[in-house]
Amino acid sequence: MIRKLVEQDRTLTMQFVSAKPAENLFIIGDIEGYGFHSDIQTLWGDFSESGELRAVLLKYDQNFILYAPESFDHEGVASVINQDSNFTYLSGIEEMVNKITPYIKREPKKPRVMYYAKCETADHLPEIPADMLIEKAEPEDAGAIIAQMKAIPEFAEGNYSVEHKRSSLEKGFGRAYFIKEDDVIVSSASSTAENSQSAMIVGVGTLESHQNRGLASYCMSKLCRELLAEGKMLCLFYDNPAAGSIYKRIGFVDIGKWSMWTY
């Protein structure tokens, strides 16, 4: 049986998704941030005949996210999505999303699959030299961080917003650490989508003229150590195995692949 979830389902739903805080980074954060009675967000639950919750489908704005670790009503969940003519994105762990995509009546424009990894320990993070000055970003640093990211070729085409970055830093949805040289940010690492249990690492990069000195690793180490000390599980997406090998050396392990389907 599939029905909308309401505030009275909060404890049950949070227990269900909190079993995998990295996999459910976005769902946990959206529930904590917007709850069950919001104009921008709706949640559905799929229940077994015995009344056990076995799947959660969340729609935030135009984006559906699915979490269903065991058997569930594939066609029924897909029918909820099919009834919404305005949705644009469908995302989630690849093997879960693949169970409903055959029943989605619209053809995706741009399917994308990325590696998904998590980190639960600081044991393998690089030590930071005592004389290395790594600064924590304030909201007024948002513009300089975005400028630094856009100056890195692999990030240059990203959809970055100074206003979004500033808001994230102000509201505590994310944080960042950076290294400056000659009053210019040359390296940084950020978090986003932070919730009480997990956080996503993003924007780890160094200007080309300052690479091969380990600066991004130091920024990331500072950021990750702080988040882990707060009891948060860390996760990140990556596209290529070369980047993955670097993340694995500092304690990240693959937990699957993340599908992002654009319609």
CATH code of the domain containing 6: 3.40.630
pLDDT number for residue 244: 87
52: its two tokens:
């056990």
Mean pLDDT of 184-195: 96
pLDDT number for residue 141: 97
3-state helix, strand, coil in the chain (%, to 5): 35, 30, 35
pLDDT number for residue 242: 80
Largest CA distance in the chain: 65
Residues 165 and 58 in one domain: no
Residues 147 and 236 in one domain: yes
DSSP state of 126: P
Residues 166 and 199 in one domain: yes
Q: Is the residue at 111 inside a domain? A: no
Looking up residue 139, the CATH number of its domain turns out to be: 3.40.630.30
Q: Is the residue at 187 inside a domain? A: yes
**Quick check: helix, strand or coil at residue 65?**
strand
pLDDT number for residue 209: 95
Residues 35 and 128 in one domain: no
Q: Is the residue at 61 inside a domain? A: yes
Task: Return the C-alpha torsion angle 38, 202, 163, 32, nearest 10.
Answer: 20
Mean pLDDT of 70-97: 96
Residue 155, pLDDT above cutoff 90? no
Q: Tell me how far CA of residue 6 lies from CA of 16, 34, 51, 132, in angstroms.
A: 15, 12, 15, 49
Residues 38 and 72 in one domain: yes
Q: Is the residue at 263 inside a domain? A: no
Q: Is the residue at 113 inside a domain? A: no
Share of the chain above pLDDT 90, in %: 90
Our CA angle for 56, 112, 194, nearest 5°, is 50
Q: Is the residue at 68 inside a domain? A: yes
Residues 127 and 235 in one domain: yes
Residues 12 and 97 in one domain: yes
Q: At what angle do helices 25-34 and 10-18 cross, to 10 degrees?
A: 160
211: its two tokens:
């690479």
Mean pLDDT of 92-111: 94
- C-beta neighbour count of 216 within 10 angstroms: 22
Answer positive or negative: Cα dihedral of 14, 235, 188, 161.
negative
Residue finishing a domain among 53, 73, 106: 106
240: its two tokens:
């290529």
53: its two tokens:
């919750």
Residues 125 and 254 in one domain: yes
Q: Tell me the residue range of the domain where 86 lies.
A: 2-106
- CB–CB of 91/64 below 8 Å? yes
Strand-strand pairing, 63-67 and 89-93: parallel
Mean pLDDT of 140-159: 91
Q: Is the residue at 239 inside a domain? A: yes
Summarize pLDDT for 190-210 with one digit per residue, the tens: 999 999 999 999 999 999 999
Residues 149 and 207 in one domain: yes
Tally of domains within the chain: 2
Residue 120, pLDDT above cutoff 90? yes
Residues 140 and 250 in one domain: yes
- Cα distance between residue 87 and residue 185, in whole Å: 38
pLDDT number for residue 49: 95
Mean pLDDT of 45-64: 97
- CB–CB of 103/78 below 8 Å? yes
Summarize pLDDT for 204-254 with one digit per residue, the tens: 999 999 999 999 999 999 999 999 999 999 999 998 888 888 899 999 999
Share of the chain above pLDDT 70, in %: 100
Answer positive or negative: Cα dihedral of 88, 199, 169, 14.
positive
Residue finishing a domain among 53, 71, 106: 106
Residues 167 and 240 in one domain: yes
In angstroms, the first-to-last Cα distance of the chain is 27
Q: Where are the alpha helices (DSSP H) in the chain?
A: 10-18, 25-34, 74-82, 94-97, 142-150, 162-171, 215-229, 241-249
pLDDT number for residue 121: 95
pLDDT number for residue 79: 98
25: its two tokens:
């980074």
